Structure 1
Amino acid sequence: MSTPPPSPAAPSTSHTRRELLMAMAGVAATVVLAAFDSTIVTTTLPRVAEALNGMALYAWVGTGYLLATAASILIFGRLGDMFGRKPLMLISVAVVALGSIACGLAQSMPQLIAFRTLQGVGGGMMIATAFAAPADLFPDAKRRVKWMALVSAAFAMASGIGPVLGGAATQALGWRAAFFISPIAAAGALFLLARYFPLIRPMHDDSRKVDWVGAVLLVIAVGCPLAAIELAFAPGDHAHPLLGLALAVAGCAAIALLIPIERRVASPIFPLRVVTGREPQLLNLAAMTVGAVMFILIFYSPLLLQQVLGYSPSEAGLLLTPLVAAISVGSIINGRLFPKQSEPQRLMVFGGGLLAAGSLMVLLISPGTSAWWILAAFFVNGCALGFLLPNLTLFMQMLSERRDVGVASALVQTTRAIGSAIGTALVGILISQSNVLDGVRTGLVLCVALAIACAVLAHRVKMKNLATRRKAA
């Protein structure tokens, strides 16, 4: 690993505890906004599509957002490293708020898709900067992990509250009202960030000229394969396998072009040194498995509860609450245990094993299963994710040079998104080829296998060796 450039005085020593607390409150508020932005309209979309007479375009409201987010995370992660994260966080909050207002005023389904895609770009900017921001404030990973538990807990709780808020606003005031919740949350985040988050000098010694060619290729490399999955395996008449194949080929071609270009330019948009080591490669593979398991559980467990077990939508929502709420529990426990670990990757090994056990518990759910068992199964999965999600980001930050913290954090978020897209598409195919029960159960068997694979990959990550190297250096 090359020697990182000299760093400025650590913010954790030059700011008071209150200032750091308020700065992290701003980061947490930004993460809450990101969660609201991605989840608050999920319960609203059926009524929106009906009101705008756009049921045929229903799926693209969510797909446009997710594609824009996934394709932009890495770029904004790198720009945050180059130019500082505070300006990008402020811009992202404004983009999301304005995009949400535009969605609330949309007069047609194509307009709504366009505005949601714009929000997706803001969401990608927000995720790329907010999850990397704790590294600016707390260079010491042992201190940082406790604060990252706060960020993970805020994101998890907001993800669970978002659909409820959206549904309540829609029922009380109409579907347009749901889009005006995010701007209200944005006002608080904007104030806290502008007032309390410090303007920290970027950790960069290269030319800050933006690699636009690499940026375009990176968008194609990430976005086209994800779009290909959506188009090739969409249900019924919405499937376009040939177009999906063409997009997949375009994505592979972009990757083939991107690698030599990034090796030549002075300041690459995606520095390959971030993934040259064995540990970063293992962590990103683990992130793909975690993303797949997490989203299979989130997307298809409601289907299992409602269509197979006969629960109402509201009952299913209550039973699924521990899956999201317990992420904060696991994150807090992980934050307490991390400073005491000589080999912190063991926490991820434990999380992977716990996720496999939780997936197995969900697999054993059948008609007549006690509600307490269902609640316990989702609680176990939520706790497991609390041991995995913060550590994936933290370990990538620890493995990277200080100047690459943003793009390293963004990379693990991107690979997790890719895993989630592949996992949900695969289970969707299984359901379409059989039935809901068999398809979801096969998907849950896949979850068990992927969770075990995550534990094996985490076991092979040697964080202790990294600490030894840095101490020796």
Structure 2
Amino acid sequence: MPALPTTRRPLVIAAVMASMFMVAIEATIVSTAMPQIVGDLGGLALYSWVFSSFLLTQTAATVVFGKLSDVYGRKPVMLAGIAVFLVGSLLCGFARSMPAMIAFRLLQGVGAGAIQPIALTIVGDLYSAQERGRIQGFLASVWATSAVLGPLAGGFIIEHASWAWIFWLNIPVGLLAATGFATFLHEGVTRAERRIDAAGAALFTVAIGALMVALTEAGSSDSWGAMTAACVALVGATLFVLQERLAPEPVIAFSVWSRRPIAASNGCSLLAGMALIGLTTFLPMYVQGVLGQTPLVAGLALTVMVLGWPIGATLAARTLTRFGLRPILLTGSLLLPLGASVLLTLGPGSAPVTAGLASLVMGFGMGLLSTAALVLIQEIVPWSQRGSATASNVFSRNLGSTLGATLFGAVLNHGLARAGTGVHADQLQHLLASGGGAGLTEIRATLQQALHLTFWAMFGIAAAAVLLALLVPHVPLGRARETPAE
């Protein structure tokens, strides 16, 4: 049997960073262009679905592609994911109606559902936990850079070119990433006959897709649509569980997902994702609507979270061998309620720097927690299950974001209703757009009370994440390097 070419790890990591950059920058750069896109295509009522459709298929596809990478290897599935993402990006640029844009964003999300978990799995394959400190720093910097460059690049493109280039910008980056994987990543995957649980994959996609639709529509005027989607999700989930118990090669191996370290780590990641989406959604609203600051100041208060995350991730990866996985995960989880508690001290006269401090602490804690949880999960499974295990963690965080957005939105609406002042959405929009004013004092006070209640809910979710982190057992580093790469 001829020897495999040697995998060139630095060049593979460059391809990983390029592929992750496409997914990471997608949210911020598209947000910048959406006013122009809606102006050209119309369909303002479908505005939120341009984002929800992408997240829907990304979340649903994550677990399926993780399983496929365990069967067929990382490279072919990653290349397929990049191809789907680029086709979706190309079509988005040619969209001539809002329904077409949403359909093409669904396709983009499928590709993203392959890219994100498999990129992290490739890193786990090629590097031991002891080697991963420097690499995690590189990967974390991708998300921080995309958060800064996204709005700048989006604004520049909108000003000097068509909004279609917002999507077409992915094509050269994706082609470079695909070339890197095809040329420099070599795997010795055993081509054994293994049946793919196609029925399980379809049922899982339907169940999670319907759940995402139900969560997205929850609280909207279309309550009938949300209830219908919830029923579809329940039926799909029931059939999926029955199918997985019978399938010889299940999409989700319950014996793996139910293992205490994986279940506790994923549960902690889910709650942390919920807390963080609450921060990113409602902190800018508080800084603008209650503190009366400009959108720039509100953006800066949130940006320090994006800076704290990669710093925490890099520090966690570099100190894994010194302190161990469990202590770092616990420390990260404790920082989440600590940062949320700072939000509870905010009042109409608070300085924006206080809000920024809370954002920084929570971002730093999330960096510690997410890195430790991912490495822990990858350390306790063999190569043949590492793709599925990694995807389970990414899936948990994504699902947590959706659950959190729905939960905290409901808490905010409850807080506004409980205030009993008859404040309407258009009045809040006017407050945020105007930056304040003497005639808006009552509205600002009502918003402050509602957001304070939301911060309490965020604190409770973050505290629950600590309880789950306490259930994570000690997992030693130094698993055998059984990967077929090289």
* Of 449-458 and 405-414, the range deviating more from structure 2: 449-458
- Corresponding position: 1:200 with 2:187: yes
Find the partner of 1:185 among 165, 170, 173: 173
- Corresponding position: 1:147 with 2:135: yes
What is the rounded CA distance, in whole Å, between the counterparts of 1:467 and 1:321 in structure 2? 33
Q: 8 Å contact 2:283–2:355 — kept in the other structure?
A: no
What is the rounded CA distance, in whole Å, between the counterparts of 1:457 and 1:203 in structure 2? 37
**Aligned in 2, Cα 1:468/1:56: closer, same or farther, shift over 3 Å?**
closer
1:452 counterpart residue number = 463
* Of 154-163 and 55-64, the range deviating more from structure 2: 154-163
Q: Which has the larger radius of gyration?
A: 2
- Corresponding position: 1:230 with 2:212: no
Query: Per-residue deviation at 1:430?
Result: 2.3
2:400 counterpart residue number = 419
Find the partner of 1:241 among 188, 205, 223: 223
**Aligned in 2, Cα 1:252/1:180: closer, same or farther, shift over 3 Å?**
same
- Corresponding position: 1:133 with 2:122: yes
2:290 counterpart residue number = 308
User: 1:125 is aligned with what amino acid?
Assistant: A
What is the rounded CA distance, in whole Å, between the counterparts of 1:290 and 1:95 in structure 2? 30
**Aligned in 2, Cα 1:144/1:317: closer, same or farther, shift over 3 Å?**
same
What is the rounded CA distance, in whole Å, between the counterparts of 1:295 and 1:171 in structure 2? 30
Q: Secondary structure of 1:40's match?
A: helix
What is the rounded CA distance, in whole Å, between the counterparts of 1:222 and 1:192 in structure 2? 32
1:220 counterpart residue number = 206
TM-score normalised over the length of structure 1: 0.88
Please give the residue correspondences for 1:51-90 in structure 2 after superposition, counting only pairs within 5 Å: 51-90=40-79
User: 2:450 is aligned with what amino acid?
Assistant: G
User: 2:466 is aligned with what amino acid?
Assistant: A
- Corresponding position: 1:162 with 2:150: yes
Q: 8 Å contact 1:303–1:436 — kept in the other structure?
A: no
Q: Secondary structure of 1:268's match?
A: coil
**Aligned in 2, Cα 1:109/1:254: closer, same or farther, shift over 3 Å?**
same
Query: Per-residue deviation at 1:375?
Result: 2.9
2:427 counterpart residue number = none
Q: Secondary structure of 2:31's match?
A: coil
**Aligned in 2, Cα 1:179/1:324: closer, same or farther, shift over 3 Å?**
same
Provide structure 1 residue ranges, at least 5 long, that are not aligned to the other structure. 1-8
User: 1:49 is aligned with what amino acid?
Assistant: V
**Aligned in 2, Cα 1:260/1:31: closer, same or farther, shift over 3 Å?**
same
Query: Per-residue deviation at 1:174?
Result: 4.1
Q: 8 Å contact 2:290–2:348 — kept in the other structure?
A: yes
1:463 counterpart residue number = 474
RMSD of aligned alpha carbons: 2.4
- Corresponding position: 1:394 with 2:380: no
1:298 counterpart residue number = 280
CA deviations on 1:219-259 (whole Å, 9 max, x unpaired) are 1222211211112323xxxx322222222222222222222
Q: 8 Å contact 1:288–1:415 — kept in the other structure?
A: yes
Q: 8 Å contact 2:412–2:453 — kept in the other structure?
A: no
Q: 8 Å contact 1:34–1:123 — kept in the other structure?
A: yes
Percent of aligned pairs with the same amino acid: 28
Q: Secondary structure of 1:183's match?
A: helix
What is the rounded CA distance, in whole Å, between the counterparts of 1:233 and 1:203 in structure 2? 49
- Corresponding position: 1:44 with 2:42: no
Query: Per-residue deviation at 1:64?
Result: 0.9
CA deviations on 1:11-48 (whole Å, 9 max, x unpaired) are 9xx958xx212211211111111112233201221221
CA deviations on 1:318-364 (whole Å, 9 max, x unpaired) are 232111122111111111111112x4211111111112111222332
Q: 8 Å contact 2:284–2:301 — kept in the other structure?
A: no
Find the partner of 2:413 among 417, 429, 432: 432
2:359 counterpart residue number = 378
What is the rounded CA distance, in whole Å, between the counterparts of 1:314 and 1:45 in structure 2? 19
User: 2:158 is aligned with what amino acid?
Assistant: T
What is the rounded CA distance, in whole Å, between the counterparts of 1:177 and 1:326 in structure 2? 30
What is the rounded CA distance, in whole Å, between the counterparts of 1:209 and 1:246 in structure 2? 33
What is the rounded CA distance, in whole Å, between the counterparts of 2:197 and 2:183 in structure 1? 31
